[in-house]
Structure 1
């Protein structure tokens, strides 16, 4: 019997690549979007779900359960970026970022768990970010929201083990997607004390995404994890230096690591 996979934010970017790859491998895939009518040409069904609105979460999962009678894999992929000096990002935008990147995945997990317990099986994959392993300049809010989801995954893993439900996180590096266009960018203010370094960092971040890796690599990683009997709690997918930066953070003194990051961003 084909496994049933639900991917939040499955209409574009990494989510779309994962869905299309799993379809080719024989999985039954459902993606989600706030505006599914915009994706009538999708290779798999796109259903309405806004991770900031709990009623849409419940409705979407119920639709999949009513149709397929199970949900084997949940991929929490929906997320948004935010850039800016922390001092200059409005509080409303900080909260909005956490609503999508942190509270949204929590509520989707809560909604799918009763069905997975009923099945006595399930796999939940949280798509986080390598940025979640370190506080990056002018990406501090994004780093914090993704880092919080990494820690939450660890706690969930221990709580869900008794129900034969596995949960894992995959932290991607830079991939060639349209994430930059969906970010909230704090404006570069003419009289801001952060103007020059923020402006330069913003250009560097956009270039990293434009030159990023093929999202197909993420799709293949998800496929491998789905087929593991005992997946690890954390995975990192990206270029060598991006993954190695996490290792360096563990072994280097804090100030030396901070200096290394500041040199990288030319601060």
Structure 2
């Protein structure tokens, strides 16, 4: 059976773990080759092993690529890896899908926000996607078949306490999404998705005070209600304390997987709610 993304190339930043890894798995299962970007050398073994797993399981080519996407040098290394592995003299490089997933969060009340918090978060969350898309521009399709997905967050709209910087970066990313949808309209659709709480180390690192602050939001999010017999016992138990369960990474990846398909070609410039109903538009 033909797979809808057969032979395409996707770049997934922050692709070795969390949402990025789930997205890479989703795309690979549909036939897309994947370039898995990661930043830290401590992730090299994980990214290499994951790339081999994807390649074997889905009969595609998955390649790890180290590089800090918040720097020109890191993005240059990423593109060099793409050229080496996905192009030849007879086959020029084409980048069909870009998933701008890499991001960091530093929560602090206004009076404790530092310039380092600001610089580091905006460098990765805002400058990073700009540099990646700039570098990829010469290699995007010319028939509107390209797909760019930016990972935003409900934090761009909810005003969570302590997220002046993080929420600001995600609001900037949503604004960039709309601009790129116009500027790149003959090359690619450009959309954002905005998860709420998602399983993984970023959510687990939140302080009890922050979690208490968002408890009301979680309580009123329809799909965050844990279900006995469906969700794992640990998830159900934890949900009793936090008022609901975080999203599974595969659930966010599923929404992204829909947006990169041919059928989504009439959707661009949108912030697509992938948060279980925490935000409704």
* TM-score scaled by length of structure 1: 0.78
Is 2:89 aligned against 1:51?
no
8 Å Cα contact 1:81-1:182 kept in structure 2: no
Separation of aligned partners in 1, 2:35 and 2:159: 34
Aligned-partner SS, 2:99 = strand
Unaligned residue ranges in structure 2 (runs of 5+): 1-5, 54-61, 87-92, 216-240
Match of 2:78 among 39, 60, 84: 60
Match of 1:41 in 2: 49
Structure 1 pair 209/116, CA: closer, same or farther in 2 (3 Å)? farther
Match of 1:96 among 120, 123, 135: 120
Give, in angstroms, the shift of residue 60 of structure 1: 0.9
Paired residues, number:
229
Match of 2:132 in 1: 108
Match of 1:200 among 199, 205, 209: 209
Match of 1:232 among 252, 258, 268: 268
Aligned-partner SS, 2:189 = strand
8 Å Cα contact 1:126-1:170 kept in structure 2: yes
Is 2:19 aligned against 1:14?
yes
CA deviations 1:58-78 (Å, max 9, x no partner) are 221232134222210010000
Give, in angstroms, the shift of residue 211 of structure 1: 2.8
CA deviations 1:162-191 (Å, max 9, x no partner) are x332211111111112214678x8xxxxxx
Give, in angstroms, the shift of residue 54 of structure 1: 1.0
Separation of aligned partners in 2, 1:208 and 1:103: 34
CA deviations 1:29-62 (Å, max 9, x no partner) are 1111113523132134221121122112022123
Match of 1:175 in 2: 198
Alignment of 1:78-157 (within 5 A): 78-116=102-140, 121-157=145-181
Between Structure 1 and Structure 2, the one with more helix by share is: 1
Match of 1:220 in 2: 254
Structure 1 pair 98/182, CA: closer, same or farther in 2 (3 Å)? farther
CA deviations 1:95-121 (Å, max 9, x no partner) are 111111111111111111111166875
Separation of aligned partners in 2, 1:204 and 1:11: 30
Structure 1 pair 209/37, CA: closer, same or farther in 2 (3 Å)? farther
Separation of aligned partners in 1, 2:164 and 2:244: 21
**Over aligned residues, Cα RMSD in angstroms?**
2.5
Give, in angstroms, the shift of residue 82 of structure 1: 1.4
8 Å Cα contact 1:135-1:144 kept in structure 2: no
8 Å Cα contact 2:181-2:268 kept in structure 1: no
8 Å Cα contact 1:64-1:70 kept in structure 2: no
